[in-house]
Chains A and B, each alone.
Chain A
Amino acid sequence: MIRYDVLKAIAPIVRGRLVVCNIGSPSQELYEILDQPSNFYMLGTMGLCSSIGLGLALAQKSPVVAIEGDGSVLTNLATLSTIANNPADNFTLLIIDNGSYGSTGDQPTYAGRKTSLADVARACGCESVVECAAEQTADELEKALASGSMTIIVSKCESGNVDVPVIGMDPCVIRERFVGEINRLGEARAES
């Protein structure tokens, strides 16, 4: 399985949920598989997906899934210590670890060699860390969301991208419809 297959497998689970998605191929592939107002696509800024996701999870109550890549997490590795020390039980960090910088031509990352992001996350103090095979990702994500506690999932998959177009949406439109969904979900939560 490559990232695209993992995204396809988790699409039914993240449907209607707040998703912050990593720059480049992950966002472009998700946009093609499941575009929805509750997706926040990163059009730039390598490395900050997990930080945006954590900030969002700490600021409001709806569950947030941040879809990260191994290269992106390596760029901002200290994020794992911030996440561990400021736990948000509505936060799930899904690291799709294909061992390569997919968007730039599949150059290998250190996560595909000696570095275990799951071990780094544990060493940073993250309490619930799961490493799984790509095929298990949907099950693990479902479990994480049902657990009601912050979980880091490292999904090991093969490297490779699908040829999908660049996202042409205006960043302010992405932000506005995302905030609209955050508010709608918040109001629905307040009513129930």
Chain B
Amino acid sequence: MATLTDRRIVDCLVENGIGFATSVPCKQLAGVIELVENSKSILHVPSNKEDEGMGLCAGAYMGGIRSCIIMQNTALGVVVNSLATLIQFYRIPLPMLISYRGEIGEKVACQVEMALHTKAILNQLHIPAYHFRNVDQLEDLDSIIKHSYMCGKPVAILADAAFWRSAE
């Protein structure tokens, strides 16, 4: 069931002209994905793997539709090459809404392993990353998305367990 927080996120995507979204599921993102799937303004094409999703987003963007990817941080290891050689090399803006598994409050120990590398990978790729710990930080989402389009770069929004716990 989508929450008010999920709705605020998807409304913000739509208000920024995002008309194409791809996703690989995460429990924490279930509500957002449900709303994106049902949105009349967004074409939602689920991906089997996140690098495939980067390709879909690049194609949709060149076709004139702003796109975004919804994914887990565990997949950042999967998309390093696609980010470097497609999204960054061709200078394609791409907001990445990422559930930040493995942070404080996580219940699955293995998730911590990729959490340890999450910010390091994003830093290494020079991708601006915004760590959301509380639902109040959602007020920055609009400017973060605008920033991505202003500079033609990918940006990462990392929403951790505390963020989703504070969801309304």
Contacts and interface: CB of A to CB of B under 8 A. Distances in A.
Interface of A: 20, 40, 42-60, 76, 78-79, 81-82, 86, 171-172, 174-175, 178-179, 182-183, 186
14 contacts: A44-B81, A44-B89, A45-B51, A51-B53, A51-B55, A54-B55, A54-B56, A55-B59, A58-B43, A60-B65, A175-B92, A179-B64, A182-B63, A186-B64
Given A171-B89, A178-B62, A48 B54 contact: yes
A82 B62 contact: no
Contacts of B82: 45, 48
Contacts of B89: 43-44, 171
Contact of A182 (B56, B58, B62, B90): B62
B8 interface: no
Contact of A78 (B48, B86, B90, B92): B48
A51 B48 CA distance: 11
Nearest to B44: A86
A180 B47 CA distance: 28
Contacts of B52: 47-48, 51, 76, 78-79, 82
Contacts, number: 118
Given A82-B45, A82-B52, A172-B90, A44 B63 contact: no
Contacts of B54: 48, 51
Rank and list the top 6 A-B pairs by shortest CB-CB distance, nearest first: A55-B59, A51-B55, A59-B63, A44-B85, A48-B55, A78-B48
Nearest to B63: A59
A160 to B, nearest CB: 26
Interface residues of B, number: 33
B72 interface: no
A18 to B, nearest CB: 9
B20 interface: yes
B49 A174 contact: no
Contacts of B51: 45, 47-48, 76
Contacts of B61: 55, 59
Contacts of B74: none
B48 A52 contact: no
Q: Which of A42, A55, A60 has the most CB of B within 10 A?
A: A55
Contacts of A81: 48
B52 to A, nearest CB: 5
Given A48-B86, A51-B54, A79-B52, 11 more contacts: A45-B82, A47-B55, A50-B55, A52-B56, A52-B62, A55-B63, A55-B67, A76-B51, A82-B48, A175-B62, A178-B62
